Amino acid sequence: SADSALNGLSPNQAMVFRCIQSVKVDEGAHVQQIIANLKNKVSEKDVRAAVEFLSGEGHVYSTTDDEHYKCTDW
């Protein structure tokens, strides 16, 4: 389940993951959209680092380009 995927993530990574998860369009969440959604909570640098981590761990994947991400379906 998605909640078990959050185990072991930092608070920033979990927030970014949930943000990507909440976007239901085919091309996924745009990194700038995630940054805007979390602007009072997570810096742009930390959002990008979290996306990089989540992608490297297989929690999310890029879709149309390296700025759009979707959650991996478990």
What domains are defined for the chain? 2-71 (1.10.10.10)
Helix, coil or strand: residue 65: coil
- 74 pLDDT above the threshold of 90: no
pLDDT of residue 43: 98
Nearest C-alpha neighbor of 20 from the set 38, 4, 7: 38
Predicted confidence (pLDDT) per residue in 6-52, tens digit: 788 999 999 999 999 999 999 999 999 999 999 999 999 999 999 99
Nearest C-alpha neighbor of 35 from the set 10, 57, 15: 15
